[in-house]
Structures are given as structure tokens and as C-alpha cells.
């Protein structure tokens, strides 16, 4: 009878150990998810900050954007600079959209109003989008952009800007 009780006691202790291990694992997973969520927020913030500070580091880009926003004539260098800048911007936006699709970004955290303002302020940006959307970006991103960011009035007010190289090289 002692053997049976000892065996039973060992089995109970082992089961308690398994349960404690599962609880510990659940706590570790929760903490890990919290850290990953914080890292994702930091990455999104850094991506946005990088985009905003890019102009601070490039006075030529500032001049080109100001000329474009005022409807002025862009030089070949300004057009090329803006093409690269818009390609980078659109790729960042596609990345953010992909993170939203994966459930890692809340749709409310996407600055759609700011994206609309940017798209509508610069004729070269809208022209770059129109040229590249069917070949350089995922179809789900294009659909989302057309439904949420690009407005019909942009097509009417946009000035076609010649492109020296296609986006999405």
C-alpha cells in the first residue's frame, strides 16, 4: 500500500509540475507578446520619423517639393529626386499597409488624412502613383490606396510629370 501511495503522490507532484510549467510558459508568452508589440510600435514610429526628417537632411528635396506643390516647372534633377522620394514613400506606405493586413497595426494608427494631404499636395506624387500602381505594388495595397487615400479630384487637378525611370526598379 505504501508503494501505491508513493506512486500516486509522485504522479500528483508531476502533474502539478506540468501545470506550473504551462502557467509559466503562458506568462512568458504574454510578456514576449508585449515586448514584440512595443517593438512594432517603435518601428512604426521610427519609419514615420525617418520619412519626416528626410527633407531636413536634403535641402534639394525641400526645394523640389516646394516647386512641385506650387505647380512650378521641375528640372530633370528635381523630377528624378522626387521620383525616388515618392518611390520610397509609397514603399513605406505599402509596408505599413502589410502590417495592418497582418494585424500588427491598428487601422486607426494609419495617418490616412496625412497620406491624402501628401498625395493631393504634390502633382508629381500622384503622377508617380498612377505610373507605378499597376506594376510596382501589391494589388491589395493598390485597392486600399484607391479606396482610402487617392481621391477622384486628384486625377483632375494633377499635372502629368514625365518620368525618367519607372518606379519599382
- Residue range 71-115, pLDDT digits in tens: 999 999 999 999 999 999 999 999 999 989 998 888 888 889 999
SS3 percent helix, strand, coil of the chain, rounded to 5, is 80, 0, 20
Query: What is the C-alpha to C-alpha distance for residues 167 and 146, in angstroms, rounded to an integer?
Result: 18
For residue 149, which of 130, 168, 169 has the smallest C-alpha distance?
Answer: 130
CB 155 within 8 A of CB 133: no
If you search the block for the grid coordinates 518620368, which residue do you land on? 163
State how far the Cα of 85 lies from the Cα of 53, in Å rounded to an integer: 12
- Tell me the C-alpha distance between 104 and 143, whole Å: 20
pTM, 2 dp: 0.71
Q: How far apart are CA 54 and CA 77, in angstroms?
A: 17
Task: Express each pLDDT in 40-56 by its tens digit.
Answer: 778 778 877 887 788 78
Between the two ends of the chain, the Cα-to-Cα distance in Å is 79
More confident residue, 44 or 127: 127
Amino acid at each position: 500500500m505504501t508503494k501505491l501511495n508513493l506512486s500516486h503522490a509522485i504522479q500528483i507532484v508531476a502533474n502539478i509540475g506540468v501545470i506550473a510549467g504551462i502557467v509559466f510558459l503562458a506568462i512568458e508568452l504574454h510578456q514576449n507578446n508585449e515586448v514584440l508589440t512595443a517593438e512594432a510600435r517603435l518601428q512604426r514610429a521610427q519609419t514615420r520619423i525617418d520619412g519626416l526628417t528626410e527633407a531636413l537632411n536634403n535641402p534639394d528635396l525641400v526645394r523640389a517639393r516646394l516647386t512641385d506643390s506650387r505647380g512650378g516647372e521641375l528640372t530633370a534633377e528635381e523630377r528624378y529626386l522626387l521620383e525616388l522620394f515618392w518611390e520610397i514613400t509609397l514603399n513605406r506606405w505599402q509596408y505599413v499597409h502589410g502590417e495592418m493586413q497582418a494585424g500588427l497595426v491598428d487601422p486607426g494608427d494609419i495617418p490616412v488624412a496625412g497620406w491624402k494631404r501628401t498625395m493631393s499636395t504634390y502633382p508629381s506624387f500622384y503622377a508617380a502613383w498612377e505610373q507605378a500602381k499597376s506594376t510596382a505594388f501589391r494589388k491589395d495595397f493598390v485597392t486600399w490606396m484607391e479606396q482610402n487615400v487617392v481621391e477622384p479630384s486628384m486625377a483632375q487637378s494633377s499635372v502629368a510629370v514625365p518620368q525618367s525611370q519607372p518606379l519599382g526598379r
